[in-house]
Structure 1
């Protein structure tokens, strides 16, 4: 009977356990988790803080006891894994305990990253990644009459924090070192339109300006920015980015770049050691390189692939590509593909109202798309771009074409997006 370990129990860990159990009904699955929560989606934490979902809504698979019984898991919560000795397949805990396994899945995810700022006590800033972060921010908002806030980091999480603060009537400044909104996902024209809409909602933007230092006063904080300006804030929320949780592996044993490098089976170069989710690098189809793609669906696919292969099944992670789909401040923003790739730019609709689509056509066809204000076409466009990356030559099906036309895209634009236009 095989003995499996799963370290970290988020989306990837859950799907890994599920796939192991489906392929090996009799094996022993031991889960190590630093907290007692069942798997949750970090992107839902802002919805909980905003009061849009109840606390139970954070847990799509139910509570931990239900999962433990369904998958027959041996769960160790509050157990910090200090080291995975890959070659011997040994898990060492911080308390000195150790245990060998036949197969190990590392699914430790990522953590919120924020550098230290002169004058700012880290315990007086807020973050947004974990459930505990969400609980702390929600309790603070419910117990303090904040009037002003500074959110540092114009990320997909940062903008959701800005939205919930703005909805509470808190005058909010959004700061980021980047010169425009979503520079890794949006084309410049789309970035500028998003900025215009956010500003119109009452949010102050401090783009191209980083937080330099903080002075605490009796009324809150005076935040000095790198451009010489200052921002008064009662509340500071840091949404600067994330870093992978990979310290428990030895780079001399397991290849680590920004994340743990795996093959299509989600296995590291060390037999029996697998990784999945935000802690690992899988294949990015557009660049043909390994890359972290921190998406819920990506983690689910990687975890299921790893679990199946660990338990003697056969599965393969066929890669993914950069994409973002989010809704905030009464608008949809969808970005597909690497926005640094150049080519012929074609557009449809009016950027200031209604559906707007901006696509870039490279030598080999469609390489990127931005969509404003219509999430309903996102699945069709994503599927089409994925097939281009798979085969290099793909056309929309009549059904897909019909969906796009029904939602407002003109046939002439669709032909351009398919690369059948050479004007």
Structure 2
């Protein structure tokens, strides 16, 4: 193998390149990026927009020049890939350049989803994904002329953007078609619990409403939902993302929303791998392919792809769906299948709320409000179960749970494989 092509240079692409060099690969590594920025963490953008993180803090691996020098990379920046020619093993760029490869990693990430709204205005509408997005919203907040804001999307990103407006003293409405907050991670009962706490902070919530239009007015924007129109000085769309795969055609790897991969991160095309937010890897709970847009997951996938390229006996079995976020002085953590049905475990302790569903002797879902300390123990226990490890919670992990709000009865319920009916505590 003489040449590796890495398409997209985020967390997955960086870890692939770094691992290749760490494992002794001496050949060429060509990196293709549609920007000239180094790898950045999208989940840190709201912190920069709110002056809680410096610009360089968005880039955890350092400068692009420094990375390229240390890893001996050939960079193709501001160079969108027009087509990945898997048959001839060539990367074709929009400027006409052609770069051959022996192995390739597709790690092009995802972009913000913009709904197909007719005549969408160009001004006063923002998204939050890239450092440039964060800079645009930061500049607008710094101007101090936003009195009313509307955030569309009750997602992890949406709530943190709403917090930015709330901290700036703006009237803010957070709206979504879903019936409650965090619909992809929180069960309705927990979503409503969080909603009450958010509304107490001064953010107005509107659920079950679909965005139908945005138009310019004399002094801002009119944001239309099913039966109501709101006025706003700024609108942020935080509805979701879509994988960046426009450069693939029918001759490329198989795609099901993301590029389908096996446990070595190899696609349906031998020698072509995929990782990160554009790949569809394994959810260890369901055993199905799914895009899992998590920073750590992307890193593991990139390392695995590098090992597979080098012929090493690597295997990444996948991960458990999970979300962890901090906003407005509260925490939410969600693990597992939000649609799971089964026995319910509830526990309250001084503002801490745990809601769990147990199915077929395993925890199928856990939602935690305001207790991030226990989240690592819970995730580890759930993940081991889905991977076939039946060991109970260890004595040290039990101490962590006991010291942070749980008692022996609740721990027993979380561990138990016996059917005990609906379980309500606290």
TM over 0.5: yes
Deviates more, 1:49-58 or 1:19-28: 19-28
Given the alignment of the two structures, is residue 410 of structure 1 paired with residue 407 of structure 2, yes or no? yes
Question: Does structure 2 retain, via aligned residues, the 8 Å contact 1:18–1:71?
Answer: yes
**Whole-angstrom CA distance in 2 between matches of 1:194 and 1:120:** 31
* Offset, 1:313: 2.7
C-alpha deviations, 1:111-167, integer Å up to 9, x for none? 001113245314541110111111111112212411000000111001100001110
Map of 1:173 onto structure 2: 173
Map of 1:317 onto structure 2: 316
- Runs of 4+ displaced beyond 4 Å: none
Map of 2:387 onto structure 1: 390
How many corresponding residue pairs?
Answer: 420
SS of corresponding position for 2:373:
helix
Question: Does structure 2 retain, via aligned residues, the 8 Å contact 1:119–1:216?
Answer: no
Map of 1:346 onto structure 2: 345
Please provide the CA RMSD for this pair: 1.4
Question: Does structure 1 retain, via aligned residues, the 8 Å contact 2:121–2:215?
Answer: no
Question: Does structure 2 retain, via aligned residues, the 8 Å contact 1:31–1:74?
Answer: yes
Please give the TM-score of this superposition, normalised by the length of structure 1: 0.97
Given the alignment of the two structures, is residue 242 of structure 1 paired with residue 222 of structure 2, yes or no? no
Query: What aligned pairs does 1:275-314 form with structure 2 within 5 A after superposition?
Result: 275-314=274-313
Map of 2:416 onto structure 1: 419
Given the alignment of the two structures, is residue 131 of structure 1 paired with residue 131 of structure 2, yes or no? yes
Given the alignment of the two structures, is residue 362 of structure 1 paired with residue 359 of structure 2, yes or no? yes
**Whole-angstrom CA distance in 1 between matches of 2:283 and 2:88:** 30
Query: What aligned pairs does 1:21-36 form with structure 2 within 5 A after superposition?
Result: 21-36=21-36
Question: Does structure 1 retain, via aligned residues, the 8 Å contact 2:266–2:272?
Answer: yes
**Whole-angstrom CA distance in 2 between matches of 1:310 and 1:326:** 34
Deviates more, 1:214-223 or 1:235-244: 214-223
Question: Does structure 2 retain, via aligned residues, the 8 Å contact 1:118–1:212?
Answer: no
Query: What aligned pairs does 1:223-242 form with structure 2 within 5 A after superposition?
Result: 223-226=223-226, 228-242=227-241
Question: Does structure 2 retain, via aligned residues, the 8 Å contact 1:90–1:99?
Answer: yes
Given the alignment of the two structures, is residue 110 of structure 1 paired with residue 125 of structure 2, yes or no? no
* Offset, 1:392: 6.0
Given the alignment of the two structures, is residue 262 of structure 1 paired with residue 261 of structure 2, yes or no? yes
SS of corresponding position for 2:29:
strand
**Whole-angstrom CA distance in 2 between matches of 1:393 and 1:183:** 30
* Offset, 1:301: 0.4
Please give the TM-score of this superposition, normalised by the length of structure 2: 0.96
Deviates more, 1:79-88 or 1:52-61: 79-88
Map of 2:332 onto structure 1: 333
Map of 2:371 onto structure 1: 374
Question: Does structure 1 retain, via aligned residues, the 8 Å contact 2:155–2:183?
Answer: no
Map of 1:98 onto structure 2: 98
Map of 1:40 onto structure 2: 40
* Offset, 1:104: 0.7
**Whole-angstrom CA distance in 1 between matches of 2:356 and 2:191:** 14
**Whole-angstrom CA distance in 1 between matches of 2:222 and 2:111:** 27
Deviates more, 1:110-119 or 1:266-275: 110-119
Deviates more, 1:306-315 or 1:291-300: 306-315
SS of corresponding position for 2:53:
coil
* Structure 1: segments with no counterpart, 5+ residues: none
Question: Does structure 2 retain, via aligned residues, the 8 Å contact 1:89–1:272?
Answer: no
Question: Does structure 2 retain, via aligned residues, the 8 Å contact 1:323–1:335?
Answer: yes
Question: Does structure 1 retain, via aligned residues, the 8 Å contact 2:190–2:367?
Answer: yes
SS of corresponding position for 2:69:
helix
C-alpha deviations, 1:1-45, integer Å up to 9, x for none? 621110100000000101111223411111111111111100000
